[in-house]
Structure 1
């Protein structure tokens, strides 16, 4: 169902159309658009379209993909049959000469399984961050995707939502984000919705500042949170004026894959991640926050078993053709006080990354090994490995997938898990 014909919009310009909904259900809006902005350009990063439905502010859509044609898919929610007035207002506070080109806008009735319908029904509405400015997410740490997984408790199901942000301005420095998580993206636990046997909300928890789990006061069936901190934590005290309605876009298979799977499933987020790094991190004053070239990293996904979560355990190392030096995912077990550069997260499956020297790539790697770096651990099991890297078109490609189940013990220094055939 087409809503808008192609239209150009500048700051504060408006465009209005009518749509007809014929069948009750959950609907999404698909906005195909591009803009004269660029996420790589200071003060020209993006602009925002404010969406009104029947003259009520419904949500905002940040056009972060710049001059590239892109479809922004957002949740309209449950809609009854009828005629609706749809209006856009273009907001461009960073560059008032910027132009948005809307190529098309369609309304889609979502075809959902029972699980997907529950995830959509209870998906939190997210208000944008307003710490540095009124509209932080128009130029930094913008939210990109919402993912989720299902869990169980004694009364029924639990839905846990995670938000994918383009980066985090504060918190773990960029170089250590790469070593600990294998990304510059900030993927944050957002909320846990506890449902009873009738799939009604019993109670809700969310991640507050300082990573503290907070209780959410349920007023109705709509969970409303705001990005409150510069490292992607949330609050239920709403102070900002712009908000987003994301569709839970992927059910994370937590028992089988890392959260970083989103980097493969949604390729565009790797572009936005790289563009933000190129704009913010090349000249960062602190060495551990300075990244010259994201393309020099390889991104690894693996899993570790038989340990207590939250402690450093393993290192991935690679050697290049003609060299004796080993390049390390944990920066050779780097520690800053009690902070470890190795993965210490709460999941078996995880991501990490290794920075190769300038001009080197996956083609130069001749050997990969794993090492147990925690002297207090007797044995651990490491299973499987995937490696991704940026190609010449700045797309993240999978270059290697190895299946193995290796036991490491603290007597061995390391085990080779891959060697290039001569």
Structure 2
């Protein structure tokens, strides 16, 4: 017996179904519009600026601003009062926003403002409560100074092509200006690579955290931090400084060719994922409505781990720690967690230099390296990877990692340090790992700031399948 043939949908039911689909599509479009069709503010008339600064540009060049400011009754670790936001106008034109993530503490925020022509100019800073985490805090400007970078400057191209980054606005994160309290862009730097025929300038950002991607304890084990550090724009120039190619780091860490909108020579990008990958802006009237234009001056030479840029700017450790505490990503207990870390002050921060042969090219079969510490009077070895094989160090560039220690541990309690190999999958049994240096080792103080490094080590230790661990340092 054949099953009964289902009745065809009536015209009325078809109309209802089509209407429901239409409503759903409209809802999606409304949400999309809320995210990406927010025009930039252009009219601050009727508002009183926090300060007005005038200057004369001796010639056409790129403008940098140093804004020393603070915001009373705000603190990055205080939910609902994390920060206040300032909008910057140059000659009446909106340029960028500054999130005062240092709160009540006076701090010099270093930003760029793009190209200006020779002559007199005016910079105005306005409070912007709509874009602020705290709606009541009134920012205080202590000082505003400017610097002009002209075509004769040896790094003029670094400033000329510096990217402008629109803030993030994800559907699953509260607030349309979410970078005023989470994953905020803190610090931008560049790396320049030269050949006989070209120069590559790569721009990287340090965000205060990443709400997606690698888990927080894995970040500490594999990268030695809870910030997010990503290159996000790269430009290649010929020997005469002419533009050859442009690229950005898109979603899923894919390198994509840039073909989007520019403001002068500055590309427009937007943070588009929870792990801070970006997209190019294709329509200036379809953005998230707020943006960052940080000073690209800091230089990274590639000799040390990227976290060296944090070491040189220790306040980044504090801001990152305050965000972890506020967002509930810190578990004060010593129990292992898949999503939370211990108090950041209970970790040893170190930078390791090692090389692997054959090189780790296969993500399914590789050999990691981890570091462990033994304390005086304690038989336990505390490992950097928390006994998770895939949380060991895979890369052979200088690498930062951390080791979770009992609360209150001091540097004087360290008795020995060892390194050990961790095969993941089925790598070649003929692997060799040469451990060459420990560049620095420090603890955080009570304010979550790095204390001075107390140990450096240089030598040559070879790990293999037959010799998987060795002590590199012991107290005398």
Deviation of 1:94 after TM superposition, in Å, equals 2.7
Q: Quick one: which of 291, 294, 298 aligns to 2:344?
A: 294
Distance in 1 between the 2:167 and 2:459 partners? Answer: 42
What SS does the corresponding residue of 1:400 show, helix, strand or coil?
coil
Task: Report what 2:397 is aligned to.
Answer: 348
Task: Report what 2:353 is aligned to.
Answer: 303
Matched, 1:135 2:177: yes
What SS does the corresponding residue of 2:274 show, helix, strand or coil?
coil
Q: Quick one: which of 239, 242, 246 aligns to 1:197?
A: 239
Matched, 1:47 2:84: yes
Map 1:138-153 onto structure 2 (within 5 A).
Answer: 138-152=180-194
Tell which structure's C-alpha radius of gyration is larger. Answer: 2
Distance 1:112 1:136, change over 3 A: farther
Distance in 1 between the 2:152 and 2:189 partners? Answer: 16
What SS does the corresponding residue of 1:248 show, helix, strand or coil?
coil
Deviation of 1:218 after TM superposition, in Å, equals 5.6
Deviation of 1:113 after TM superposition, in Å, equals 8.3
Task: Report what 1:400 is aligned to.
Answer: 455
Say whether the 8 Å CA contact 2:211–2:274 is kept in structure 1: yes
Q: Deviations over 1:291-321 (max 9, x none)?
A: 2411001111112214424544211010011
Matched, 1:243 2:291: yes
Distance 1:110 1:267, change over 3 A: farther
Distance in 1 between the 2:224 and 2:154 partners? Answer: 29
Matched, 1:278 2:325: yes
Distance in 1 between the 2:386 and 2:331 partners? Answer: 21
Q: Deviations over 1:66-117 (max 9, x none)?
A: 1111111111233223222222221234322212111111112358985532
Distance in 2 between the 1:114 and 1:53 partners? Answer: 22
What SS does the corresponding residue of 1:65 show, helix, strand or coil?
coil
Deviation of 1:343 after TM superposition, in Å, equals 2.1
Say whether the 8 Å CA contact 2:444–2:450 is kept in structure 1: yes
Task: Report what 1:26 is aligned to.
Answer: 62
Q: Quick one: which of 192, 207, 210 aligns to 2:249?
A: 207
Q: Deviations over 1:30-75 (max 9, x none)?
A: 1111112100000100011001111110111110001111111111
Distance in 2 between the 1:112 and 1:63 partners? Answer: 31
Task: Report what 2:437 is aligned to.
Answer: 384
Distance 1:98 1:141, change over 3 A: same
Say whether the 8 Å CA contact 1:21–1:79 is kept in structure 2: no
Matched, 1:72 2:109: yes
Say whether the 8 Å CA contact 1:299–1:351 is kept in structure 2: yes
Deviation of 1:197 after TM superposition, in Å, equals 2.5
5+ residue gaps, structure 2, are: 1-46
Distance in 1 between the 2:360 and 2:304 partners? Answer: 16
Segment of structure 1 superposing worse, 116-125 or 137-146 = 116-125
Distance 1:330 1:283, change over 3 A: closer
Distance in 1 between the 2:202 and 2:113 partners? Answer: 21
Task: Report what 1:234 is aligned to.
Answer: 278
Task: Report what 2:315 is aligned to.
Answer: 268
Distance in 1 between the 2:297 and 2:348 partners? Answer: 26
Deviation of 1:150 after TM superposition, in Å, equals 2.0
What SS does the corresponding residue of 1:144 show, helix, strand or coil?
strand
Q: Quick one: which of 120, 133, 143 aligns to 2:159?
A: 120
Distance in 1 between the 2:247 and 2:419 partners? Answer: 37
Instruction: State the superposition RMSD in angstroms.
Output: 2.2
Q: TM-score, normalised by structure 1?
A: 0.89
Q: Quick one: which of 219, 232, 240 aligns to 1:177?
A: 219
Deviation of 1:378 after TM superposition, in Å, equals 2.0
Distance 1:189 1:13, change over 3 A: same
Q: Deviations over 1:175-222 (max 9, x none)?
A: 000001000010012122111232122111111111111111165522
Deviation of 1:154 after TM superposition, in Å, equals 8.2
Distance in 2 between the 1:210 and 1:170 partners? Answer: 11
Say whether the 8 Å CA contact 1:18–1:83 is kept in structure 2: no
5+ residue gaps, structure 1, are: 1-11
